[in-house]
Every structure is written in structure tokens, then in C-alpha cells.
Amino acid sequence: MRVLLTGANGMLAHALRETVPSNAEMFARSRAELDVTDADAISRELAAAQPDVIINAAAYTAVDRAESDLDSAERVNGVAPGLLGTAAARIGAKVVHYSTDHVFDGKSVTPYAEDAGTNPINAYGRSKLHGEQALHASGANHVILRTQWLFADVGRSFPDTMWTRARAGLQTRVVDDQRGAPTYAGDLARATWSLLDEEGIIHVVSDGATTWFEVARRVFAAAGCPELLAPCSASEYLVDAQRPPNAVLDTTRLRSLGIILPTWTVAIDGFIARRTAAES
Ligand SMILES: NC(=O)c1ccc[n+]([C@@H]2O[C@H](COP(=O)([O-])OP(=O)(O)OC[C@H]3O[C@@H](n4cnc5c(N)ncnc54)[C@H](OP(=O)(O)O)[C@@H]3O)[C@@H](O)[C@H]2O)c1
């Protein structure tokens, strides 16, 4: 199986590169090597690599910046998945794409199933929804994995920021009224390889849901300084983009396929253990 990976220097792409199965030959392309907003570059790359599967890990992920940089977010998140889909359909390749809980408004009191009504409340979420729609309209075989609160051992993420602040002895306030599931990029990468034959949309997140504050509490406790942490509400923590408050993703479809990701506590504890080991 020949696999073309876009956005190869990103957080999830790193995890995909580390978990590539033995039956796959991977062609990993960074932004500098393949700009996914460039249809001609995509055509050239597909002609050269002849992939069976294109995994699109390229994205514009600066959620707050997207509010004032709509065009860039829209080109990468909204339009490029359609360009990849159109090119993939021409050579009969499958597209694996990632989306987000931000396609929902987060006002539901129950978890969102894959077919729940979308209603993004920020520019990033709108651009990601457009990308889902563009890929669907391209006619390519595709699967869209919606995930949430991604983190990894490399790169910047919420647990990484919390660990760094705790280690630096910094007083920290964290939002306690937004719920979701912190998802380890390594777990999502392994699930991706198992889901290549699926079609449509699948929610892939850690098992269980929590708040940002509870995630931070686990990290600060492990760092030995729980007293430095205090809760606050989203309305007290000013950012440019509104976040969906309760965008918990239902994983019934994932479970029906025999895949259950570790619980978020196991995922975060793994992050803490690796970080601790790296520092000792
Ligand atoms: N991070 C999260 O919490 C989260 C949550 C839910 C869903 N997701 C989704 O999961 C997927 C992976 O996210 P991630 O966290 O791994 O993102 P990431 O770390 O920001 O990586 C995205 C990569 O895409 C590259 N890129 C940007 N524009 C590009 C272009 N025009 N052509 C080619 N590459 C381009 C970036 O390159 P540069 O670094 O050079 O810009 C970066 O290496 C995305 O679809 C994202 O929307 C992420």
C-alpha cells in the first residue's frame, strides 16, 4: 500500500510517521514539499507517488488567528480537501481526512453522533466544515475522522503548556466549563491505520469526557504543585474565537468497529510519565 501523507511536520503527522504499518510505503510531504492549496502541485505529486491512500494531516489549526485570517484558514481547511479529493478520484486513491468537534456549536447536553446537525461557532470550525463538504462533493472514496483536544509528546499542546507552567511554578487559571476528550495523537494515528477501509465520518477520541481544568489538575498534581492551579469560566478567559462548550463526540460507531481508544486519564498519565522520564 502506497500512502501519501500531507502536512508531514505537524503533530498528528509525526504520530502517523511513527506508527506506519509494515505493509505501507509512506511518502511524507511537508508544507514546503507539497502545498495542499496548489492543485497543480497535488497533481504532480500524485502522478509521481501513485498513492493508494492520501492521508491529509495538513491543516490551519490556529483557532484564534483564524478569526482574522479567514482566507488562509479557508484555503487550507475548506478548499484543499476538495482539491485532494478531486485529484484522488482521478487515480482511484482513497482520502483520509481529519476534522474537529468545532463543527458543532457545543450546546447539546448529549454527545454528538456523526450525523448530528453541524453549526460551527467560529471561523476555524466553519472552515473545517467546508473541508468536510468539499471532500464529500469531490466524489473520492474518503473517510473523515473527527477528533478533539489533540496532544502529543512533541509540539505545543494544552498538556504541554500545563506541564511547562507547572514546572516553572506559575500560577495558572484554567477554564472549567468546556467539556471534551483530550486525545493522544499516537492513539489517533494507530486508529487511523485500522480505519482505512471505512467510509464517511467517524468520531475518534479518547474514551470519556472531562474539562480543561480537570486535565490541568492531573498535570499540576503530577508535577507536585496542585496549589498553583485555579478554575475559571470561559467568559473570564478572553480569546478571539469562541469554543463549543460541550462538544462531546459520541464514539458508538468507532466502538462498533471494535476500536476503543484509552480513557483520557490513561492518555494524560502516559504523557506525564513520558515527560517525567525525559526530564530525569
Ligand atoms: N490540534 C488539535 O487539537 C486538533 C483537534 C481536532 C482536530 N484536529 C485536526 O487534526 C488534524 C491534524 O492537526 P495537528 O494538530 O496535527 O495540526 P498541526 O500540528 O498544526 O499540523 C498541521 C500541519 O499542516 C501544515 N500545513 C499548513 N498549511 C499547509 C499547506 N497549505 N500545505 C501543506 N501543509 C500545510 C502545517 O505546516 P506549518 O507548520 O508549516 O504551518 C503543519 O505542519 C487537522 O485536520 C486538525 O484540524 C486537531
Contact 77, 128 (CB under 8 A): yes
Q: Provide the percentage of residues in the chain whose pLDDT is more than 70.
A: 100
161 has pLDDT over 90: yes
- Residue 274 within a domain: no
Let me know if residue 231 belongs to a domain: no
- Give dist(CA 54, CA 42) in Å, integer: 11
Cβ(148) to ligand 1 under 6 A? yes
Ligand 1 atom 32: residue of nearest CA: 35
Going from the Cα of 242 to the center of ligand 1, the distance in angstroms, rounded, reads 19
Q: Give tens-digit pLDDT for 223-241.
A: 999 999 999 998 888 788 8
Give 75-95 pLDDT, tens digit per residue. 999 999 999 999 999 999 999
In the chain, the number of structural domains is 1
For the Cβ of 10 lying below 6 angstroms from any atom of ligand 1, the answer is yes
Q: Calculate mean pLDDT across residues 140-159.
A: 95
Q: For ligand 1, say whether the CB of 83 is within 6 Å of any of its atoms.
A: no
Contact present, 146 and 100 (Cβ < 8 Å): yes
Measure the CA–CA gap between 42 and 34, rounded to whole angstroms.
Answer: 7
Q: Is 42 in the pocket of ligand 1 (CB under 6 A)?
A: no
Segment 160-178 mean pLDDT: 95
Is 119 within a domain?
Answer: yes
Give residue 7's domain range.
2-156+183-206+250-261
pLDDT on residue 235: 86
Q: 91 lies in a domain?
A: yes
59 Cα to the center of ligand 1, angstroms: 4
Place of cell 481508544: 261
Angle at which helices 264-279 and 158-167 cross, to 10° = 50
Is the model's pLDDT at 56 over the cut of 90?
A: yes
Helices (H), the chain: 11-18, 39-49, 70-73, 80-91, 123-138, 158-167, 185-194, 212-222, 252-256, 264-279
For ligand 1, mutation pick of 4, 6, 11, 64 (most atoms within 8 Å of CB):
11
Tell me the pLDDT tens digit for each residue of 242-260. Answer: 999 999 999 999 999 999 9
Task: Report yes or no on 49 lying in a domain.
Answer: yes
CATH of the domain at 100: 3.40.50.720
Q: Is 5 in the pocket of ligand 1 (CB under 6 A)?
A: no
Residue 33 lies in a domain: yes
Q: Note if 184 is an active site residue.
A: no
Q: Which of the residues 98, 124, 184, 237 is marked catalytic?
A: 124
Among 102, 150, 156, the mutation site with the greatest number of ligand 1 atoms within 8 A of its Cβ is 150
**What span, in angstroms and rounded, lies between the C-alpha atoms of 58 and 78?**
12
Q: What is the pLDDT of residue 236?
A: 85
Residue 219 in domain: no
- In a domain? residue 238: no
Coil, helix or strand for 113? coil
- Tens digit of each residue's pLDDT (9 = 90 or more) over 206-226: 999 999 999 999 999 999 999
Mean pLDDT of 194-210: 97
What confidence category does residue 11 fall into, taking pLDDT thresholds of 50, 70 and 90?
Answer: very high
Nearest CA to ligand 1 atom 37: 31
